[in-house]
Amino acid sequence: MPFDLPRASSVLHFDAPKRRNSSNRDVDALILDAGREEFIRKGIRGTSMSSVARAAGVSRPTLYSRYKNIDLLSGDVLRNEYVTVLEAAFEQVDSPEAFIDQIVLIADKLRQNQFINSVAQSDPDVLHHFLFEHLVGTQRRLVDYLKRLIVAVRDQANVERTGRKIREGDPEVLATFVVVTVQSAILSAPAVSYIVTGAQAWRNELHRLVSGYLLECDAP
């Protein structure tokens, strides 16, 4: 039976205030979509709030009522990319091994993500700062989400008493190292592609890495 795990949207909240009115939610979606396309075309530094407003078909005051600057908007666009990939990812997890399979599947989808790849090329320093220099915003929420997943998988696997288990340790520390390690693997994938040749080889190596870190060692 699949484990009962929290959904990504319960943790990965957005910076812009979300309105209950459906028409306002439609405007929010238009802005995120327009921002995404502008960032892909022009890069984050090359995109202005005015160009996003024009692309979304909304007024500048409407945009500024949700986002004070491009940095906040780009943060929510990145968060939306993560939520889209993560939201249904852990529905069929029924063991720690299946949990790690899903982590690798998610990493592979993010490795191929058009927005992340585009920003990595156009604004690598911005993306590096956003992902690695400060554990805040999306990063903090990703760690919180993975921490909840680790606790839930470990607890439910202990009840099942079958197969390998998530090892003991502070779940926040485990989650932090998995998030940073997986993101490093995603961003470095193009640089190591001549050594780790092919998507399947990349997935296999990442699976070994995460499994070795998260799972208890087999008994001798």
Q: Is the pLDDT of residue 50 over 90?
A: yes
Question: What does the alpha-carbon distance between residue 141 and residue 118 come to, in Å, rounded to a whole number?
Answer: 23
What value does the mean pLDDT of the chain take? 87
* 125 CA to centre of own chain: 18
Q: Is the pLDDT of residue 146 over 50?
A: yes
Q: Is the pLDDT of residue 15 over 60?
A: no
Which residues, including other chains, have CB under 8 Å from residue 206's CB and lie 6 or more apart?
104, 107, 182, 185
- Give residue 220's pLDDT: 47
* Long-range pairs for 52-57: beta carbons < 8 A, 24 or more residues apart: 56/27, 56/30, 56/31, 57/30
- Give residue 48's pLDDT: 97
Q: Which of 74, 72, 64 is nearest to 39 (CA)?
A: 74
- Give residue 169's pLDDT: 95
Judged by average pLDDT, the poorest of 9-18, 108-117, 132-141, 153-162 is 9-18
In this prediction, residues 181-207 reach a mean pLDDT of 93
The CATH fold of domain 16-214: Tetracycline Repressor; domain 2 (1.10.357)
**Proportion of the chain above pLDDT 90, given as a percent:** 54
* Long-range pairs for 196-199: beta carbons < 8 A, 24 or more residues apart: 199/108
Q: Is the pLDDT of residue 18 over 60?
A: no
Q: Report which of residues 161 and 53 the model is more confident about.
A: 53
In this prediction, residues 171-178 reach a mean pLDDT of 96
- Give residue 159's pLDDT: 82
Q: What is the pTM of this model?
A: 0.84
